[in-house]
């Protein structure tokens, strides 16, 4: 089965020169002179490398079959993340490089959607916003208020570091946008 450049969707997968790539973003460009083309940002699944590539409009690629399975994140083994299928207790490892930044929002023993590409585990899909506890942050200065503006770094229980308002204290649970890494609100 083939897919044309005019059928591209963010998050879909294509095969180029025997390698599987995830389409992070794309843009159809129709210049006033010359043929139309498609600018893309692609992530290689085997190692997480990101490239910018331009294709002629209408170019065709082999479509890659993807499937999503709910699995439990067990632990980080250093160079890979280990997941378990809750139904049959099978364990799989996904190289940390292929997962990118997704794992900094996931705590051990939590459920995640693992993406399988051509029957091989390759990526983790995280919710667009997560609630995590603040593990460490400096105390706000006296006189800092919600309207006082200013941010400070806070380390979350997952190890991620985000900028939070000055009134946030250690132990509080906050809501964070996983796509941008920005503080949204108290949970």
Got the DSSP string for 42-110? Answer: EEETTT--EEEEEEETT-EEEE--EEEEEEEEEEE-SSEEEEE-TTT--EEEEEHHHHTTGGGG--TT-
Q: What is the pLDDT of residues 93-132, one digit of tens each?
A: 888 777 777 788 888 888 888 888 777 787 788 877 888 8
5 contacts: CB under 8 Å, gap ≥ 6: 26, 28, 38, 55, 56, 57, 58, 59, 60
Band of the pLDDT at 173, cuts 50, 70, 90? very high
> What is the reported pTM?
0.63
Structural domain span for residue 71: 66-125
Q: 132 Cβ partners below 8 Å, 6+ apart?
A: 105, 107, 156, 157, 158, 160, 173, 174, 176
Helix (H, G, I), strand (E, B), or coil: what is residue 6?
Answer: helix
CATH classification of the domain holding 104: 2.40.50.140
Residue 141 main-chain phi, psi, to 5 deg: -80, 155
Same domain as 182, residue 134: yes
State whether 76 and 49 are in the same domain: no
Find the CATH number of the domain harbouring 57.
2.30.30.30
Statement to judge: residues 97 and 112 lie in one domain: yes
pLDDT tens across 9-49, in order? Answer: 887 888 888 888 888 899 999 988 888 999 999 988 777 78
User: How many structural domains are present in the chain?
Assistant: 3
Between 84 and 95, the more confident residue is 84
**CA-based angle 104:110:116, to the nearest 5?**
80
């Amino acid at each position: 089965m083939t897919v044309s450049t005019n059928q591209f969707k963010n998050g879909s997968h294509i095969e180029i020169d025997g390698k599987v790539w995830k389409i992070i973003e794309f843009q159809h460009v129709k210049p006033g002179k010359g043929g139309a083309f498609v600018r893309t940002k692609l992530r290689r699944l085997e190692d997480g490398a990101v490239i910018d590539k331009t294709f002629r409009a209408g170019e065709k690629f082999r479509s890659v079959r993807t499937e999503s399975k709910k699995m439990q994140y067990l632990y980080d083994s250093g160079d890979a993340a280990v997941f378990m299928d809750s139904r049959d207790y099978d364990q799989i490892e996904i190289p940390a490089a292929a997962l990118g930044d997704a794992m900094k929002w996931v705590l051990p023993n939590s459920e995640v959607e693992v993406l399988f590409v051509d029957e091989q585990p390759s990526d983790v899909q995280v919710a667009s916003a997560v609630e995590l506890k603040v593990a460490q942050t400096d105390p706000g200065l006296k006189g800092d208020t919600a309207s006082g503006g200013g941010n400070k770094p806070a380390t979350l229980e997952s190890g991620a570091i985000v900028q939070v308002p000055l009134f946030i204290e250690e132990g509080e649970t906050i809501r964070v946008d996983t796509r941008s890494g920005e503080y949204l609100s108290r949970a």
